[in-house]
């Protein structure tokens, strides 16, 4: 009897020590997603809030996007840990009943498994939200995997920053995954040209709102316990994108917060398909077999 008690006690202690060594799972992850941010655009724009945020974590200025360098395939790749050859979103016209290439796997409703699908399956108490202002962006995602979705018309986005903050506060006791997106930066490039004063101004305007959002997180006592990711889907040249030039294919990419090294310049190769895989790693969840994204081990403490 004493031997069995000792063995059981040893097993309990081993389990506790293993859990402590692994560290706490991420409490919440917020993806700050700006469409069409080129590396040069980010460098030229005055973005004190994003700069301060990224200084507290790991930043890559050499992250590659998937081909084609257009919006829907790339944001879908960010959020599914896979390229178009896997998820089948090869252009901006994808819809659940309108596509050129079928996904390699689908759920019961016909959607490729996104990071929201996976976290809901493996961590049922997670709260998820999707904020956006380009209508096509949500098409590749199954509505059932979200606790809140908000779409704003005509490039409006400030209200979504407020909604995202309120959602996070409301669910601060639960693990939370938030996608907070705006397309106005991309539209500024298309309307006025990439690297034009109007394009640069659009990035700077977004930075102001990001700063307000982050300050509210700090005042609420939620900033330090949150992993933030800064993401974009492509750059641009002249009035567009879609090609394979460096200005179109390389974007800034960053992650901060618990478990992440501070002040790290990411040197290793990185791709936007790694985003969702790293989110799963932060939450301590398993990656689906169909996903191709990898974990950047160098960014973790």
pLDDT tens-place string over residues 59-75: 999 999 999 999 999 99
Is 19 a domain residue?
no
Task: Give pLDDT tens digits for 121-147.
Answer: 999 999 999 999 999 999 999 999 999
Task: Give pLDDT tens digits for 197-254.
Answer: 999 999 999 999 999 999 999 999 999 999 999 999 999 999 999 999 999 999 999 9
Is 253 a domain residue?
yes
Is 12 a domain residue?
no
What does pTM read for this prediction? 0.91
Domain extent, residue 121, equals: 27-299
Is 3 a domain residue?
no
Is 136 a domain residue?
yes
Predicted pLDDT of residue 25: 75
Is 2 a domain residue?
no
Task: For residue 68, say if its preceding peptide bond is cis, omega within 30 degrees of 0.
Answer: yes
- Structural domain count, the chain: 1
- Residues above pLDDT 90, as percent of the chain: 91
Is 220 a domain residue?
yes
Check which CATH number belongs to the domain holding 262 and give it: 3.40.720.10
């Amino acid at each position: 009897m004493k031997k069995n008690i000792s063995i059981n006690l040893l097993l309990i202690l081993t389990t506790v020590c293993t859990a402590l060594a692994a560290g706490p799972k991420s409490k919440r992850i917020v993806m700050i997603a700006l469409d069409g941010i080129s590396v040069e655009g980010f460098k030229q724009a005055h973005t004190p809030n994003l700069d301060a945020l990224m200084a507290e974590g790991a930043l890559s200025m050499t992250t590659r996007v998937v081909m084609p360098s257009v919006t829907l395939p790339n944001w879908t790749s960010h959020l599914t840990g896979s390229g178009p050859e896997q998820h089948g979103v090869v252009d901006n016209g994808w819809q659940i009943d309108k596509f050129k290439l079928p996904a390699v796997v689908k759920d019961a409703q016909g959607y490729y498994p996104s990071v929201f699908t996976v976290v809901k399956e493996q961590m049922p108490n997670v709260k998820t939200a999707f904020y956006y202002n380009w209508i096509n962006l949500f098409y590749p995602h199954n509505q059932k995997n979200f606790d809140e979705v908000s779409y704003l018309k005509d490039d409006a986005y400030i209200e979504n920053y407020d909604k995202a903050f309120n959602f996070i506060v409301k669910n601060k006791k639960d693990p939370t995954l938030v996608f907070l997106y705006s397309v106005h930066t991309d539209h500024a490039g298309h309307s006025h040209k990439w690297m034009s004063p109007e394009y640069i101004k659009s990035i700077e305007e977004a930075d102001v709102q990001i700063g307000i959002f982050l300050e509210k997180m700090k005042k609420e006592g939620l900033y330090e316990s949150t992993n933030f990711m800064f993401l974009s889907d492509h750059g641009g040249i002249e009035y567009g994108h879609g090609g394979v030039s460096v200005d179109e294919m390389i974007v800034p990419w960053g992650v901060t917060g618990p478990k992440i090294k501070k002040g790290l310049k990411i040197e290793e190769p990185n791709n936007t398909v790694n985003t969702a895989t790293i989110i799963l790693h932060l939450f301590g969840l398993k990656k689906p077999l169909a996903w191709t994204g990898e974990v950047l081990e160098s960014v973790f403490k």
